[in-house]
Amino acid sequence: MHHRLAPAQSIVTGFGVVLLIGTTLLLLPIAATGTPATPVEALFTATSALCVTGLVVVDTAAFWSPFGIAVIAALIQLGGLGIMMFAALVGIALARRMSVRARLNATAEAKAFGEPNVRRLARNIFFTSICIEAVVALILIVRFMVGYGYELGQAIWHGVFHAVSAFNNAGFALYSDSMMGFVDDPWLGLPMCAAIVLGGIGFPVLRELAREWRRPLHWSMNTRIVLPGTIALLALSIAVVTVTEWNNPDTLGELDPATRVLAGVFSAVQMRTAGFNSVDVGAMHDQTLLFTDIMMFIGGGPAGTAGGIKLTTVAVLWFIVWTELRGGAAVNIFGKRLSRSVHREAISVVLLSFAAVAAATLALLAMTEFTLDQVLFESVSAFATVGLSIGITADVPEAGQIILAMLMFLGRLGPLTLGSALALRERRIAYELPKERPVIG
């Protein structure tokens, strides 16, 4: 009897197959400028690119050849777009139709179970990605040519790569110091920040804003949570980073006031989900790093290129707590009652995510000499697919790098998706047990 994969299993399998292909391509001698990559270097880089993270164990600009960088860019685009969504687009292009299985897989990956027209959904996601990346790439290309004297081909190469990396919240850069050489350039930093934010709020929000931007009362609960939540967390992050690092001579302190503000804005945007940096993250104050841990863990909007546990998950937990404090019987958000299954899903995501980060942190502490704050930062960055680093990733032993790669894979797919894929079968119980409750608190 032919066994058909469930949507969650198809998503995990698709990512696994593409990861294997990407790793194989990066192992080829043509992918490196000198000595070919080791299996762990190739696997880690492919995972980081496909999971749109940005953590690296080798210098992207110096180690990889143009072929290797092209493979990384392709993996970033596939990871941001989604393997199942890409497969759906290929199916539409070749056969002009989609099977029921392809529709289920695509909607499961895009978190769009209520979408009646999957073909239109796939096309909208594709064209939204391409259009935003094209606009940002054009701005970067012009800036590289006019401001830095790049030749047209070199400007296109750098502009397109960084636009793709920014919109997909990947954080890969073609410079050994990431974007630190452009800390005072708003014509590069701000367009990249805009691309990161647009990619991070999620395709459902972008699509709804395009259709209903004049009628906020018609917005869905998802958009009402993600849009103001994104604005609030960005404002808070900008204020915290700029204030705490203002006089730090190793980060913002030696810059002129206008550049300090620009660097503060750029750094605040990155900590939500992208991995570029225009100042030395490892030199930031402890309070800034702890705040960054929290922002990375929260992440961006669902069904986009952002990582973390997502803004909607945090919002649901907050409303659950608020309802409990007020003694309410049901959790209501914006005039709608929240399903109890959403309660369980949010709690499960947070607990499983916390457990994954904690387990990885303990393992890395046991095998390295790094401090808790250093290891925790790398673990959260990997799980939240952010890619910010305090500079220890390459010094972690290979076993630790594999752990970080597993965290990236788990973070990109989500603990519930991966757990559902690993489950042998879905259990349906036709009875309920008697209720009883332990003492809480």
Which pLDDT tens digit goes with each residue over 322-375?
998 988 888 888 888 888 888 888 898 899 999 999 999 999 999 999 999 999
Judge whether 110 and 82 are in contact, CB under 8 Å.
yes
Per the model's pLDDT, the better-predicted residue between 262 and 202 turns out to be 262
pLDDT in the model for residue 437: 73
Q: How many whole angstroms separate alpha carbon 19 and alpha carbon 41?
A: 13
pLDDT at 1: 43
Cα gap 106→126, rounded to integer Å: 12
Number of Cβ within 10 Å of residue 354's Cβ equals 14
Q: Could you tell me which of 78, 5, 71, 8 has the C-alpha nearest to residue 305?
A: 78
Backbone angles phi, psi at 285, to 5 degrees: -65, 155
List strand residue ranges (DSSP E) for 306-362, in order: 332-333, 336-337
Q: Which of the four pLDDT bands, split at 50, 70 and 90, describes residue 419? A: low
pLDDT band, very low/low/confident/very high, at 9 (cuts 50, 70, 90): confident
Q: What is the pLDDT of residues 74-130, one digit of tens each?
A: 999 988 887 656 555 555 555 555 555 555 555 555 555 455 556 777 778 888 889
* Residue 410, CA distances (Å) to 16, 200, 297, 385, 437 in order: 11, 18, 13, 9, 32
376, containing H or E segment: helix 372-383
Cβ contact 317:309 at 8 Å? no
Q: Both tokens of residue 392?
A: 């220890």
pTM over 0.75: yes
Q: Are 277 and 388 in contact (CB under 8 A)?
A: yes
| Percent above pLDDT 70 for the chain | 87
The pairing of beta strand 336-337 with beta strand 332-333: antiparallel
Closest CA to 333 of 350, 321, 345, 348: 321
The per-residue pLDDT of the chain, averaged, comes to: 88
**CB < 8 Å & 24+ apart, contacts of 359-362:** 360/403, 360/404, 360/406, 360/407
Strand partners, 337: 332
Comparing CA positions, the residue from 426, 417, 348, 412 lying closest to residue 8 is 417
Which residue type, as a one-letter code, is found at position 5?
A: L
Question: CA 314: distance to chain centroid?
Answer: 16
Residue with tokens 């590069």: 188
Amino acid of residue 36 = P
Q: What are the angstrom distances between the C-alpha of 387 and each of 55, 62, 272, 296?
A: 4, 18, 10, 10
Mean pLDDT of 30-52: 96
The pLDDT score that the predictor gives to residue 263 is 97
Share of the chain above pLDDT 90, in %: 63
Three-state SS for the chain is CCCCCCHHHHHHHHHHHHHHHHHHHHHCHHHECCCCCCHHHHHHHHHHHHCCCCCCCCCHHHHECHHHHHHHHHHHHHHHHCHHHHHHHHHHHHHCCCCHHHHHHHHHHCCCCCCCCHHHHHHHHHHHHHHHHHHHHHHHHHHHHHHHCCCHHHHHHHHHHHHHHHHCCCCCCCCCCCCHHHCCCHHHHHHHHHHHHHHHHCHHHHHHHHHHCCCHHHCCHHHHHHHHHHHHHHHHHHHHHHHHHCCCCCCCCCCCHHHHHHHHHHHHHHHHHCCCCCCCHHHCCHHHHHHHHHHHHHCCCCCCCCCCCCHHHHHHHHHHHHHHHHCCCCCEECCEECCHHHHHHHHHHHHHHHHHHHHHHHHHHHHCCCCHHHHHHHHHHHHCCCCCCCCCHHHCCHHHHHHHHHHHHHHHHCHHHHHHHHCCCCCCCCCCCCCCCCCCC
Mean pLDDT of 162-185: 95
